[in-house]
């Protein structure tokens, strides 16, 4: 649904995007992360047809941003990291204005706005001035605006920027709902632990180059493996488990784990978590915890990147 090949963008002597090859599948929620100055916003603006690339090309829904910009815009909704609202407009008027700009009229426009107000939970704010809304509500209104023409692809640049914790949670839940609706979403954010909850895949970019792209789970362990944390009754039981677990097929010990806990990597084609837990119980060990470790994007981010900018 989103594809770039050899994408290049220069600002004078600075090459902000350097031959970027990126693929985002239809229906995927893709987290686009990297340090400041990595080229994320530049890439998103090219995909939104606001910047022309200096080399290579990008496609959205099969349409070239170079040659078919109008078609791209029909399929795409773009929310920048910073945007203004027409403060003297009512929320309802604001959405009607943008619906009209997309050529949506009459009953179809009224229904579209009702659906969007319901989805973004802005129905109670429809007769309030856009400029009087809180920062969090304005972010919701920004999302409502880009959804009004029912785009299949969403480009969201830091949608939770500047929000308080509650508002960030609300935006995160809205993104999950949009993902369930089958939207293809490319979202950039510096709040990495929240991206792990929302995204199915991530791409890490630095100095305009893509360093990693793939499933969130695959960023910390190889495909087909899973990491589990296991807690025991005491340190002696942990030591007993550590002595025989490496002898089991498909099990590798990891250096993490302190006190009465340890961590293992399981090759899922050769062993399943329930098999390991059963074996531990058969050995007479008390299991206080047996849970899969969630991917830690911050940890992976610092391992993969060097903190460099273009």
Domain's final residue, options 185, 219, 253: 219
Answer whether residue 156 shows pLDDT above 90.
yes
Q: Out of 181, 202, 219, pick the residue that ends a domain.
A: 219
| pLDDT tier for residue 210 given thresholds of 50, 70 and 90 | very high
pLDDT attached to residue 254:
83
130 belongs to a structural domain = yes
pLDDT band at 142 (very low <50, low <70, confident <90, very high): very high
Region 171-186: mean pLDDT is 92
DSSP-derived letter for residue 46 is H
Token pair 């929240």 is found at: 194
Q: What is the CATH number of the domain that holds 136?
A: 3.40.50.300
Q: Which two tokens stand for residue 293?
A: 């470790």
**37 pLDDT higher than 80:** yes
pLDDT, position 50: 96
Asked if 34 and 79 sit in the same domain, the reply is yes
Residues 89 and 37 in one domain: yes
Q: Are residues 79 and 199 in the same domain?
A: yes
pLDDT of 44 over the 60 cut: yes
Strand partners, 157: 188
Read off the pLDDT band of 118 (50, 70, 90): very high
Average pLDDT over residues 222-236: 83
Using CB atoms within 10 Å of the CB of residue 31, give its burial: 0 to 12 exposed, 13 to 18 middle, 19+ buried: buried
Tens digit of each residue's pLDDT (9 = 90 or more) over 254-302: 876 567 889 888 888 888 999 999 999 999 999 999 988 766 777 777 8
Do residue 41 and residue 84 come from a single domain? yes
Residue 303 lies in a domain: no
Residue 211 near residue 250, CB atoms below 8 Å: no
Q: What are phi and psi of 38, to 5 degrees?
A: -80, -15
Please give the average per-residue pLDDT across 1-8, as a whole number.
96
pLDDT of 84 = 80
- If asked whether residues 36 and 117 sit together in one domain, one would say yes
Q: What is the rounded average pLDDT of the residues 120-148?
A: 93
Residue 13: exposed, middle, or buried by beta-carbon count in 10 A (0-12, 13-18, 19+)?
exposed
If asked whether residues 69 and 172 sit together in one domain, one would say yes
* pLDDT of residue 252 exceeding 70: yes
Please report the pLDDT score of residue 295 as a whole number: 63
The DSSP bridge pattern shows strands 201-206 and 29-33 to be parallel
CB 16 within 8 A of CB 208: yes
- Residue 109 CB contacts under 8 Å (≥ 6 apart), including other chains: 96, 99, 100
pLDDT reported for residue 203? 93
In a domain, 298, yes or no: no
- State the pTM of this model: 0.79
Query: What's the mean per-residue pLDDT of the chain?
Result: 89
pLDDT band (50, 70, 90) for residue 223:
low
Angstrom distance (rounded) from CA 3 to CA 5: 7
pLDDT of residue 215: 84
The reply to whether 283 and 152 lie within a common domain is no
The CA distance from 161 to 158, in Å, is 5
pLDDT tops 60 at residue 309: no
Statement to judge: residues 168 and 260 lie in one domain: no
Q: How far apart are CA 7 and CA 16, in angstroms?
A: 10
Question: Is the domain of 30 the same as that of 132?
Answer: yes
Q: Do residues 165 and 82 share a domain?
A: yes
Q: Which structural domain range is residue 279 located in?
A: 225-293
Tell whether the model's pLDDT for residue 114 goes beyond 90. yes
Average pLDDT over residues 154-170: 87
Number of domains in the chain: 2
Which of 154, 188, 219 is the C-terminal boundary of a domain? Answer: 219
């Amino acid at each position: 649904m989103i594809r770039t090949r050899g994408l290049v963008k220069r600002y004078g002597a600075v090459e902000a995007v350097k031959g970027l090859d990126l693929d985002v599948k239809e229906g995927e929620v893709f987290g686009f992360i990297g340090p400041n100055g990595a080229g994320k916003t530049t890439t998103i603006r090219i995909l939104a047809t606001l910047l022309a690339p200096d080399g290579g090309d990008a496609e959205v829904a099969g349409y070239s941003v170079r040659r078919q910009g109008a078609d791209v815009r029909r399929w795409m909704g773009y929310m920048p990291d910073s945007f203004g609202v027409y403060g003297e407009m009512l929320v309802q008027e604001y959405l009607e204005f943008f619906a009209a700009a997309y050529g949506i009229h009459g009953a179809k426009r009224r229904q579209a706005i009702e659906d969007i107000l319901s989805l973004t939970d802005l129905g109670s704010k429809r007769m309030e001035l856009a400029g009087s809304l809180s920062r969090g509500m304005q972010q919701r209104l920004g999302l409502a605006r880009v959804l009004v023409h029912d785009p299949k692809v969403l480009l969201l640049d830091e949608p939770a920027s500047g929000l308080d914790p509650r508002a960030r949670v609300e935006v995160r839940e809205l993104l999950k709902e949009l993902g369930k609706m089958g939207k293809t979403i490319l979202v950039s954010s510096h709040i990495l632990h929240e991206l792990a909850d929302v995204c199915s895949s991530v791409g890490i970019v630095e100095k305009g180059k893509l360093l990693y792209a793939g499933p969130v789970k695959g960023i910390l362990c190889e495909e087909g493996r899973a990491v589990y944390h296991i807690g025991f009754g005491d340190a002696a039981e942990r030591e007993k488990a550590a002595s025989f677990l490496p002898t089991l097929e498909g099990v590798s010990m990891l250096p993490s784990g302190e006190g009465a806990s340890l961590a293992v990597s399981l090759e899922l084609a050769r062993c399943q978590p329930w098999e390991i837990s059963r074996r531990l119980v058969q050995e007479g060990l008390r299991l206080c915890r047996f849970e899969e470790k969630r991917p830690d994007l911050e940890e992976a981010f610092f391992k993969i990147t060097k903190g460099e900018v273009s």
